[in-house]
């Protein structure tokens, strides 16, 4: 059996802040692995083991580094709680969770809540370490308290600029540096007036979210205002979009194929339902594909993957989806069959159309595979002379189905 790997959390207070159980592990370690800043917190007299700084990039180096010191007592240093956005996850995925002995330290988030008097369970944490800054946008809601894990000295200024640019300039930002250590410091200002270009690299940002007057309100439920999207008319409209997401029924960790992405609204709102939801938008127009990327960044889901090319040819090699939405191109030869074949048992398929030709295709698939075939009609009140009347949008035919282990035809 491979030897155990000790993972020891350490804070800005260094050796003084460690419990005796963690100190014993570090004293006995033959190999100490960590960031230079963490290794410098340990006295060579107390911890005489060989010191190795993590190379960059870190993740690809982990298996080889551990193999090179197999059989020796290894201790890996981590900032705060190693299992909270820390190295323990990488080690568990590469070396196996059963090999790890984790010795946690209070996380920077725990320290921040203690300093601010915030209840930890009521605060959302967003990590910007090796993640796009745009990911913060999806978490912005009036009155919300957010803790943001910064990547470097420039992160607070970048966050402040994003908030000003997106209509959240009134948000109060507090930067808590070197939490728990002798150099602990608090910086406090609004995003609109943020004066600090750089801060200490070891910090947490605390945001009290305030939406500026006139900024478009974006709720947490599917069906964002159409004005939230940049589009050329190829957009699943708000109320049909809400009904479509309800039929797709996203769940954490699931993957959606959004075929005929248009402006990307279905894939974007799928991903906004939970941070672990994933989506691939397939769009044949390069101009629209670029627009999808911009919309995804603006609405806080920059991880949306965009594939530029026609379907079904562009579906080859994509990871297996949990759900598929077809919003355009239904009459493309082989598209419906390719999507049906790509779905595993239990996968969901939802297709929308406004044309009679595509409606005939959906009626045929409904006969063959079952599911639900509905028509969605939305009317809006508009001026009619000096009065008000209803103007109906084009009705949308929607087929939704969950793939079983056998088809309706096979049952018959």
Separation of CA 310 from chain center: 27
Q: What residue numbers bound the domain in which 118 lies? A: 109-208
* Same domain? 63 vs 154: no
* Same domain? 13 vs 91: yes
* Same domain? 386 vs 243: yes
- Reading the chain (412 residues) residue by residue, the pLDDT tens digits are 467 899 999 999 999 999 999 999 999 999 999 999 999 999 999 999 999 999 988 889 999 999 999 889 999 999 999 999 999 999 999 889 999 999 999 999 999 999 999 999 999 999 999 899 999 999 999 999 999 999 899 999 999 999 999 999 999 999 999 999 999 999 999 999 999 999 999 999 999 999 999 999 999 999 999 999 999 988 999 999 999 999 999 999 999 999 999 999 999 999 999 999 999 999 999 999 999 999 999 999 999 999 999 999 999 999 999 999 999 889 999 999 999 999 999 999 999 999 999 999 999 999 999 999 999 999 999 999 999 999 999 999 999 999 995 555 555 5
Q: What is the SS3 assignment for 210?
A: coil
Domain end: 72, 106, 140, which one? 106
Tell me how many domains the chain contains: 3
* Same domain? 146 vs 271: no
Half-sphere exposure of 137 (CA within 13 A, CB side): 27
* Same domain? 253 vs 301: yes
CATH number of the domain within which 282 lies: 3.40.50.150
- pTM exceeds 0.95 for this model: no
pLDDT on residue 2? 62
CA angle 137, 250, 302 (to 5 degrees): 30
Buried b (16+ CB within 10 A) or exposed e, 354-381: eeeebbebbeebbeebbbebeeeeeeee
Q: Are 357 and 343 in contact (CB under 8 A)?
A: no
* Same domain? 231 vs 378: yes
* Same domain? 313 vs 371: yes
* Same domain? 115 vs 101: no
Is 218 domain-assigned? no
* Same domain? 201 vs 272: no
pLDDT on residue 407? 56
Is 213 domain-assigned? no
CATH number of the domain within which 35 lies: 3.40.1010.10
- Max distance between CA atoms of the chain, in angstroms, equals 89
Residues in the chain: 412
Q: Are 168 and 212 in contact (CB under 8 A)?
A: yes
Domain end: 106, 127, 155, which one? 106
């Amino acid at each position: 059996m491979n030897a155990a790997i000790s993972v020891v959390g350490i804070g800005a207070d260094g050796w003084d802040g460690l419990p005796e159980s963690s100190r014993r592990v570090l004293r006995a370690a033959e190999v100490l692995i960590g960031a230079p800043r963490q290794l410098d917190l340990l006295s060579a007299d107390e911890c005489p083991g060989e010191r190795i700084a993590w190379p960059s990039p870190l993740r690809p180096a982990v298996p080889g580094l551990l193999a090179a010191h197999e059989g020796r007592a290894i201790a890996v240093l981590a900032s705060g709680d190693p299992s909270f956005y820390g190295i323990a996850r990488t080690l568990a995925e590469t070396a196996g969770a059963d090999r790890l002995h984790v010795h946690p330290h209070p996380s920077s988030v725990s320290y921040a809540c203690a300093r601010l008097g915030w209840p930890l369970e009521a605060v959302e944490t967003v990590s910007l370490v090796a993640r796009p800054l745009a990911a913060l946008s999806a978490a912005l809601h009036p009155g919300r308290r957010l803790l943001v894990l910064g990547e470097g000295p420039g992160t607070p200024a970048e966050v402040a600029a994003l908030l000003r640019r997106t209509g959240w300039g009134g948000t109060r930002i507090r930067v808590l540096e070197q939490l728990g250590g002798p150099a602990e410091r608090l910086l406090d200002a609004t995003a609109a007036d943020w004066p600090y270009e750089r801060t200490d690299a070891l910090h947490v940002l605390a945001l009290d979210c305030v939406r500026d007057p006139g900024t478009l309100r974006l709720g947490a439920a599917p069906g964002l205002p159409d004005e939230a999207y940049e589009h050329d008319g190829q957009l699943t409209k708000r109320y049909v979009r809400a009904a479509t997401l309800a039929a797709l029924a996203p769940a954490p960790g699931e993957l959606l194929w959004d075929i005929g992405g248009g402006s990307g609204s279905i894939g974007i709102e799928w991903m906004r339902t939970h941070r672990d939801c994933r989506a691939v938008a397939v769009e044949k127009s390069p101009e629209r594909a670029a627009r999808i990327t911009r919309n995804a960044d603006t609405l806080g889901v920059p991880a949306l993957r965009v594939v530029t090319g026609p379907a079904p040819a562009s579906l080859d090699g994509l990871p297996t989806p949990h759900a598929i939405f077809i919003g355009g191109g239904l009459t493309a030869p082989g598209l419906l069959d390719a999507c049906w074949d790509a779905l595993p048992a239990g996968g969901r398929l939802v297709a929308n159309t406004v044309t009679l030709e595509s409606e005939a295709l959906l009626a045929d698939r409904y006969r063959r595979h079952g599911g639900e075939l509905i028509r969605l009609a939305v009317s809006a009140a508009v001026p009619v002379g000096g009065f008000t009347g209803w103007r109906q949008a084009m009705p949308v035919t929607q087929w939704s189905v969950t793939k079983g282990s056998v088809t309706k035809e096979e049952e018959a």
